[in-house]
Amino acid sequence: VGAVYEIGGGASLFGAVSRGARPPQTSDLYRLQVNQTVGGIDPETLDMVETGFRYFSNNITAEIVAFAGHKENFLFRDADGFTVDNGETDHRGVEFLLDWKISDSVGMRLAGTVADHRYGFSRQVSRSSEVIRKGNEIDTAPSFLITAGAFWSPREQLDLEARLTHV
């Protein structure tokens, strides 16, 4: 469910509440270790809330979005190599985009995400020293994704782009 409010002059405010779901993959069941069982595998769900501001003109597109989400029932491999079900995570952050068309053939873009990703459950991993604690940062989820680039189209059949990405 979403809504957009047109402020005028190419600017708008928007917001959305959404739920995404996917069934477990068959291959997830084949990753189980010998003598490992998992309790009922439910569909993975992701509930999100986002709100933001957009601006469009002939040569500028700008957007900033704040988001918060909660994911449940995801499967992952722990440090012991076991498939773990019923994982939960929480996500909060800001996404941004600035696209500037300098001329018909030259433009620049800056886009990125600054986010905080945390575990929403606790679990002791038996054979390793790893402990997953609710509220701890997910070390494999990047906090910063930033891309800056410039493009040039000297001819209709030729597009050139230089891009710098930081993860």
- Cα separation, 26 vs 10, whole angstroms: 46
State the first-to-last Cα distance of the chain, in angstroms, to the nearest integer: 31
Q: What mean pLDDT, rounded, does the chain reach?
A: 88
pLDDT at 59: 95
pLDDT at 81: 72
Q: Which tokens sit at 17? A: 């509440």
CB 115 within 8 Å of CB 89: no
Q: Decide the pairing of beta strands 106-119 and 144-155.
A: antiparallel
Q: pLDDT tens, 98-138? A: 999 999 999 999 999 999 999 988 887 766 667 888 998 98
How many other C-beta atoms are found inside a 10 Å radius of the C-beta of residue 17? 12
pLDDT at 128: 63
For 11, phi then psi, to 5°, come to -105, 145
Alpha helices (H) in 5-161, listed in sequence order: 26-29
Q: pLDDT tens, 62-96? A: 999 999 999 998 877 777 777 777 789 999 999 99
| Residue range 15-32: mean pLDDT, rounded | 80
At residue 46 the predicted structure's pLDDT band, cuts being 50, 70 and 90, is very high
pLDDT at 43: 86
For 28, phi then psi, to 5°, come to -60, -35
The pLDDT of residue 4 is above 80:
yes
At residue 40 the predicted structure's pLDDT band, cuts being 50, 70 and 90, is low
Of all residues in the chain, the percent with pLDDT exceeding 90 is: 63
pLDDT at 36: 59
Of the two residues 26 and 39, the one the predictor is more confident about is 26
The pLDDT of residue 6 is above 90:
yes
* Cα 137 to Cα 11, 70, 116, 125, 164, distances in angstroms: 35, 14, 7, 17, 26
